[in-house]
Amino acid sequence: MTAPTFDLVIAANRLPVDKEVAEDGSVEWRRSPGGLVTAMESVMRGREAAWIGWSGDAGDPPEPFEENGMYLVPIGLTEDEVTNYYEGYSNDTLWPLYHDVIVPATFRRRWRSSYERINQRFAEAVSEVAAQGATVWLHDYQLQRVPALLRAIRPDLRIGWFNHIPFPPVEIFMQLPGRETLLEGLLGADFLGFQVRADAANFREACRRLLHSTVKGEVVTAPDGRRVRAAAVPISIDVEELRALATSPETLQRAKEIRAEMGDPEVLLLGVDRLDYTKGIRHRLKAYGELLADGRLDPHKTRLVQIATPSRERLQAYRVLRGQIEQTVGRINGDHADFEDTPVLYMRRSFPKEEMAAIYAAADVALVTPLRDGMNLVAKEFVTCARDDAALVLSEFAGAAGELKRAYLCNPHDVDRLKQTITAAISAPIDERRKRMRAMRRAVLSNDVHHWAEAFLASLQAAPELPAGETDR
């Protein structure tokens, strides 16, 4: 039987669902957590499309299947390929390199060849289900070779790629062995989307410096003479849907219960992150611990709820981070807890979105303090769900800081200033907090996830020209 073909094909490292095997051996697919799926879920609704991605397990892939109206094509990875392509090259070479080398990037030649092989596998899988002239939307740093590999077998396709993480300055990118190959891979696309303008500019500068490409405005000339546009299209969330959930009577009731269960603290601080060293969880805990020790926050009146989704736990840097965070939480609670009060509530697990909305609605101040982040959807989710008088402390190194300019902005590396910013957010007059929250709501509303997807697809169709209605920047 030949595979069905589609006018829209999405490819991302992972499928949007995770496999769960029940005790009786039956298999169920659940929506996977994380920013990419959160964003794409609402984009895909009502569209006929195929999604190519890895199922998350090593071994033979399951057959393609339909889920929520989407045709899902699992890509198989062997145990070795998981180690080399996914954990190695993607998460131990590219991830740290693209996040300002917060931890050192590791370079191994066998990881690189595995990355090339898997990208070829993705290109072939896309090619099989893409109709003549179809639109292909590739995602993220794991698939940077796919555009060129796919174009080589299917020159009829419109190929777009979106980078969910930052694109580093050329001085850092240059460290990557074989760096030209990745740039050439990306230049196989018609349109390249980045979170913020600085990322797109970094990419164009890398092409200029390392490939000697001609760059005019946002357009780079590829080695084969095609013109490729690289521009910012900041990602967002489904504001309307989330706002409706957050303001429902059930959620508001649950938010009250959450505070009551914690003994109705005067100040409820909140952190929500994947357990990743880019998210600045350690810096945040250090600042909070010091504020308690200095007596500037009262451990009997303040709670920090830190929710951390387990992530990439087979990698050493992530295991070390988890140990450090758990030790710090233990130390803060050891120093300040008593029979009634526990100043840090640390929860290492995922919550359903209803519960997340209630937690956001319950908080007074969200601490979103990544050391580097492509966008950070938690910041936008908080603004959407929070009470009008709640406050957001936001790192300048999150892409979201470009839009949420009325947050309490901070440099998380500067612990003293971080402490000051946290206390400023806690003690600001209610009027000021309301004003800031209103301005941030407007910013989030003006660019929701549907707007993002439409902007990306319109840019892809028009590339290398600007889509109608968009003016040159």
Indicate which residues carry an active-site annotation. Answer: 164, 373
In whole angstroms, how close is the CB of 275 to ligand ADQ at the nearest point?
A: 9
- Rule CB under 6 A: choose which of 182, 272, 329, 394 binds ligand ADQ: 272
Nearer to ligand ADQ, 34 or 76 (CB): 34
**Site size with ligand ADQ, rule: CB under 6 A:** 23
Residue 381 binds ligand ADQ (CB under 6 A): yes
Task: Tell me the residue nearest to ligand ADQ as measured from the CB.
Answer: 35
The answer to whether residue 307 forms part of the interface with ligand ADQ (CB under 6 A) is yes
**373 binds ligand ADQ per the rule CB under 6 A:** yes
CB 374 within 8 A of CB 163: yes
227 beta partners: 221
Q: Closest separation between CB of residue 223 and ligand ADQ, Å? A: 28
39 near ligand ADQ, rule: CB under 6 A? yes
Window of 33-41, 120-128, 334-342, 460-468 that interacts with ligand ADQ by CB under 6 A: 33-41
Q: Is 433 in the site for ligand ADQ (CB under 6 A)?
A: no
By CB under 6 A, residue 202 contacts ligand ADQ: no
Q: How far is the CB of 271 from ligand ADQ (least distance, A)?
A: 10
The interface region with ligand ADQ, picked from 65-73, 182-190, 332-340, 349-357 by CB under 6 A, is 349-357
Under the criterion CB under 6 A, does residue 29 sit at the interface with ligand ADQ?
no
Contact call for residue 32 and ligand ADQ (CB under 6 A):
no
Taking the complex as a whole, the smallest distance from the CB of residue 64 to ligand ADQ amounts, in Å, to 25
Residue from the set 126, 149, 200, 235 that interacts with ligand ADQ by CB under 6 A = 235
- Dihedrals φ, ψ of 203, to 5°? -65, -45
Does position 378 interact with ligand ADQ (CB under 6 A)? The reply is yes
Residue 165 binds ligand ADQ, judged by CB under 6 A: yes
**Least distance from C-beta 109 to ligand ADQ, angstroms?**
27
Q: What CA–CA distance (Å, rounded) separates 220 from 468?
A: 20
CA distance 80 to 59: 10
Residues that bind ligand ADQ (CB under 6 A): 33-36, 38-39, 164-165, 235, 272, 274, 307, 309, 350-351, 356, 373-378, 381
